Amino acid sequence: MKKIFSVACILSAAFLLTACEPKHGSDAWCKKMDETPKGDWSFKDAGDYTKYCVLNQKPEDQ
């Protein structure tokens, strides 16, 4: 029972932490990326930053 409770707590924590991320391409995401060191960006992050934050394109699902 203790093992099930531990797994449930870990999964809940992981879900809550990922739910707090700003939507990719949103203004909040652009602001977060401005504060993130460029060395920590992935190749996809750099491309998306250029697309959404510099060229001001909107994500397809908006």
Reported as a single tens digit per residue, the pLDDT across 17-51 is 666 778 888 999 999 999 999 999 999 999 999 99
pLDDT at residue 19, as a whole number: 60
Q: What is the pTM of this model?
A: 0.60
| C-alpha triplet 28, 57, 43: angle, nearest 5° | 70
Phi-psi category of residue 19: left, alpha or beta, with phi > 0 → left and psi -120 to 50 → alpha:
alpha
* More confident: 30 or 5: 30
* More confident: 52 or 11: 52
Asked whether the predicted pLDDT for residue 14 surpasses 90, the reply is: no
